[in-house]
Amino acid sequence: MLVLNTIADCKAWRKNQNTTVGFVPTMGALHEGHLSLIKHSQEHCTKTLVSIYINPAQFAENEDLSSYPKTITEDFENLKKMNINAVFIPTDSEMYPDNQTKVFSYENALFKKLEGQSRPHFFYGVTKVVAKLFDIVQPTHTFFGEKDAQQSRIIQKMILDLNYQIKFFICPTKRDAGGLALSSRNNYLNKEEQEKARIIYKSLMLIKQLIKGGQKDVKKLKQAFDLSIKSCSGFSVDYLSIADNESLEELEVCRPGSLISAAVFYKKIRLIDNFVY
């Protein structure tokens, strides 16, 4: 596994690859969800490159940039076991040098919905770094997880809007035995707290059962979700969205092709999950 620390090194490596290159961008603290993206890349591409970079541009001042989980030793071991070809680990000064004033101004209609209402800065920072990574890596394919459903849809649209010649794949959410969606932020929780956090998935599955039983009124579905989450002490709902899976426009009546997504706080830790009906 080749370790690349500079943009120049990454570009030089890429220049020598005359084949398909799959790209999996991450912020580290790798788990089985990330590793599943790598497996998908290896199934579709001859070479696979993973990036590890905690992007400060997507964190607001009151968010967890300084405490975001960092497990670089374990990450390296996992990547070596996966037999990937290269890992790109740039520094902040490499990605955002002081003398580089170029502004990335891309935006699409999905930015300010769902997550964008709670974290208005977020997708500006995400698209800025992903576009920069795309320009550096020049992948033929890229792989994102369905857990971050809105992010995946925004990046997919950005690829189309900016004419990147990249094949985009959304890969299924990976869960623990009790249904909790795997997330780097789960590292903030001990084992007992992670078991409690399964209430998020259980509450989403309650919504799914209610829909299957004929309840399509969005207000009533949201009330049921809220009550379910609050039944577990320490948890509170940031939002439950029931929206069109493509436009992310909020619905009043649930219908096939709906994205049901939630953000839930456990104390100060924010966890997200979703399913498509």
Domain hosting residue 217, numbered range: 184-272
% of the chain residues with pLDDT over 90: 95
Catalytic residue among 31, 34, 40, 141: 34
* pLDDT of the residue at 98: 76
192 occurs within a structural domain: yes
* pLDDT of the residue at 102: 61
Task: Say whether pLDDT at 99 is over 90.
Answer: no
* 150 and 227 fall within a common domain: no
Task: Say whether pLDDT at 221 is over 70.
Answer: yes
pTM above 0.85, yes or no: yes
> How confident is the model over 54-90, as pLDDT tens digits?
999 999 888 999 999 999 999 999 999 999 999 999 9
* 146 and 241 fall within a common domain: no
| Dihedral class, residue 236 (left if φ above 0, else alpha if ψ from -120 to 50, else beta) | beta
* 167 and 202 fall within a common domain: no
* pLDDT of the residue at 87: 98
Q: How far is it, in rounded angstroms, from Cα 208 to Cα 259?
A: 11
The domain tally of the chain equals 2
What is the separation, in whole angstroms, between the first and last Cα of the chain? Answer: 40
The question of whether 34 is a catalytic residue gets the answer yes
* 156 and 201 fall within a common domain: no
Structure tokens at 196: 């409690």
Q: For residues 21 and 44, is the Cβ–Cβ distance under 8 A?
A: no
